[in-house]
Structure 1
Amino acid sequence: MEQEPNEQEPNEATEIVGGKVETVEVSKHPEASIPETDLSLADIERRRSHPLRWALIILAVLCAIIAPYWFGRSLAVNNTDSIVAVLGGVSPQGIALVGWVTVVIAYVGLAMAVVVSPSWPWLIVFVIGLAGEQFIAGLSMLNLNFWYSTYVVYGKQAGLANAANLGIMGAAIGIAVYALMFVGLLVIIRKTSPLNVLTKSWASFILYFVIETIALLVVLFGGLLTTV
Structure 2
Amino acid sequence: MADESERNEATEIVDGQVETVEVSKHPEATIPETDLSLADIERGRSHPAQWAVYAVAVLVAIIAPYWLGRSLAVHNTAWLTAHLNAFTPQGMAFVSWTVTLVAVACLGIAIVDSGRWVWRILFVFGLVAEQFVAGVALLKLDFWYSTYVVYGDSATVANAANLGIIAAGFGVAVFAVVWVGLLVVIRKESPLNVLTRSWASFILFFAIEVVALLVVMFGGLLTTVATGA
What TM-score results when the alignment is normalised by the length of structure 1?
Answer: 0.87
| Deviation at residue 118 of structure 1 after TM alignment | 3.6
Matched with 1:182 is 179
CA contact (8 A) 1:76 1:153 kept: yes
SS of alignment partner, residue 225 of structure 1: helix
Q: Which moved more, 1:44-53 or 1:170-179?
A: 44-53
Rounded to whole Å, the distance in 2 between the matches of 1:81 and 1:26 is 84
CA contact (8 A) 1:11 1:27 kept: no
Distance change (3 Å), C-alpha of 1:64 and 1:27? farther
Matched with 1:113 is 110
Coordinate RMSD, CA, aligned: 2.2
1:209-224 correspondence runs (5 A):
209-224=206-221
Matched with 1:131 is 128
| Deviation at residue 126 of structure 1 after TM alignment | 0.4
Over residues 32-79 of structure 1, what are the superposed CA-to-partner deviations in whole Å (9 max), with x where a residue is unaligned?
443211122322221121101111111111010000000000000000
Matched with 2:43 is 46
Distance change (3 Å), C-alpha of 1:196 and 1:32? farther
Rounded to whole Å, the distance in 2 between the matches of 1:124 and 1:178 is 24
Rounded to whole Å, the distance in 2 between the matches of 1:88 and 1:10 is 84
SS of alignment partner, residue 119 of structure 1: coil
Structure 1: tracts of 5 or more residues without a match: 15-24
1:60-79 correspondence runs (5 A):
60-79=57-76
CA contact (8 A) 2:175 2:204 kept: yes
Q: Which amino acid aligns with 1:115?
A: V
Rounded to whole Å, the distance in 1 between the matches of 2:181 and 2:46 is 31
CA contact (8 A) 1:110 1:122 kept: yes
Rounded to whole Å, the distance in 1 between the matches of 2:27 and 2:159 is 69
Q: Which amino acid aligns with 1:201?
A: S
Matched with 2:165 is 168
Matched with 2:97 is 100
Distance change (3 Å), C-alpha of 1:184 and 1:27? farther
Q: Which amino acid aligns with 1:158?
A: A
Distance change (3 Å), C-alpha of 1:137 and 1:13? farther
Q: Which moved more, 1:123-132 or 1:33-42?
A: 33-42
| Deviation at residue 30 of structure 1 after TM alignment | 5.5
Over residues 102-126 of structure 1, what are the superposed CA-to-partner deviations in whole Å (9 max), with x where a residue is unaligned?
1110011111112225421111110
Rounded to whole Å, the distance in 2 between the matches of 1:197 and 1:39 is 39
What TM-score results when the alignment is normalised by the length of structure 2?
Answer: 0.87
Rounded to whole Å, the distance in 1 between the matches of 2:75 and 2:29 is 68
Distance change (3 Å), C-alpha of 1:206 and 1:11? farther
Task: Select the structure that is richer in helix.
Answer: 2
SS of alignment partner, residue 226 of structure 1: helix
Rounded to whole Å, the distance in 2 between the matches of 1:12 and 1:177 is 58
Rounded to whole Å, the distance in 2 between the matches of 1:13 and 1:116 is 44
Rounded to whole Å, the distance in 2 between the matches of 1:68 and 1:35 is 50
Of 168, 193, 198 in structure 2, the residue corresponding to residue 196 of structure 1 is 193
SS of alignment partner, residue 72 of structure 2: helix
SS of alignment partner, residue 224 of structure 2: coil
The percentage of aligned residue pairs carrying the same residue is 63
CA contact (8 A) 2:163 2:216 kept: yes
Give the count of matched residue pairs.
215
